[in-house]
Amino acid sequence: MSTFVSAQALRDDIYHGHRQTVLGVFWEPEEGAGHRRFESEHVPTALFCDPAYALAGIPSSEDGRNPLPEPHHLQDWFRRWGLAEDSRVVVYDEGRGPMAARAWWILRWAGMTDVRILDGGLRAWDSLNLPIVGGPGNFATSNGGEVRAGSLPVAGIDEVRDHLAAGGVLVDARDSRRFAGRREILDLKAGHIPGAVNIPAADLYDENRVVCSPEEIRARFARESITSGEGIIVYSGSGNHSAMLLAAMERAGLGVASHYVCGWSQWSADPENPVERGV
């Protein structure tokens, strides 16, 4: 099963009426702006997904900017979208990638098995002059299934500490400037978790945010002597760019790594945690 689907393949599935749920995952800093963006332009048949409310819990210094959603809260969204365990789902964002990847990972963590990312997002769809519609989007066609939280491995902050103490590999998916501590506008401190290696998620996608080939992805991980996701923990600022990296790893056949979802936003908020800067 592929992790990504091309715009043309998704268009053909929609045209032929294949049963699937398409989720447009739009977020903007201003309250309600993501929904307005969706209503102004989206892929035909899509439903709206608000990542701040549907895909994350309540932010705090203890839990980070985008902690895992409470299963019962996500269950409400499953009902809203009509998702069942055997549903096929395609997620997309405007084209940058992190919001769609977050949706892909959260739905997989919640027990869904057939979830794909529209490669290149709405930008790729529009570049082929495929139809774009406005309005509130589709309505769910079923009552939805049960959220089965924990279907993908998650690492907490104590597990990250133990992992590093045991000599485990920790991968930071943020860009190199944030990793090195040269730039930080989102979190309380600049730098990275001591002992982490840096594989920016952007290295695994081209300039149009279309995912690289499996061979290119494996080669990038091999530069850090990583050939498998087994025994690896991945993090970013708050679980979005790390989800992009995890999606690319699955495409490349590297297996499943654990996800430190709360990431740097949680680690850097604790004054007792050590911080490393530089490359």
Return the residue matching tokens 């749920």: 21
pLDDT for residue 183? 87
Instruction: Pull the structure tokens for residue 220.
Output: 């990038």
Q: 268 is written with which tokens? A: 């850097």
Give per-residue burial for 55-66: e unless 16+ CB within 10 Å, then b: bbbebeeebbbb
Pairing verdict, β 88-92 and 21-25:
parallel
55 has pLDDT over 90:
yes
Distances from the Cα of 166 to the Cαs of 43, 89, 215, 224, in angstroms?
A: 47, 38, 30, 18
Query: Domain residues of the chain, as ranges?
Result: 4-127, 157-267
What is the model's pLDDT at position 85?
Answer: 81
Average pLDDT, the chain: 94
**With pLDDT > 90 as the criterion, what percentage of the chain qualifies?**
88
pLDDT in tens, 60-97: 989 999 999 999 999 999 999 999 888 999 999 999 99
Which pLDDT tens digit goes with each residue over 214-241? 999 999 999 999 999 999 999 999 999 9
CA-to-CA distance for 32 and 66, rounded, in angstroms? 18
Task: Please provide the CATH number assigned to the domain covering 157-267.
Answer: 3.40.250.10
- The pLDDT of residue 50 is 96
- Rounded to whole angstroms, the Cα distance separating 199 from 139 reads 39
Give the mean model confidence (pLDDT) for residues 242-271.
97
171, 223 Cβ separation under 8 angstroms: no
Rounded distance between C-alpha atoms, residue 219 and residue 104, angstroms: 24
For residues 236 and 179, give the distance between their C-alpha atoms in angstroms, rounded to a whole number: 9
Q: Matching CATH topology for 4-127 and 157-267?
A: yes
Enumerate residues 6+ apart whose C-beta is below 8 A from 37: 26, 28, 94
pLDDT of residue 185: 85
> What is the model's pLDDT at position 186?
84
Superfamily of the domain at 4-127:
Rhodanese-like domain (3.40.250.10)
Q: What are the pLDDT digits (tens) for 118-155?
A: 999 999 999 999 999 998 877 776 677 889 999 999 99
Q: What is the pLDDT of residue 30?
A: 83
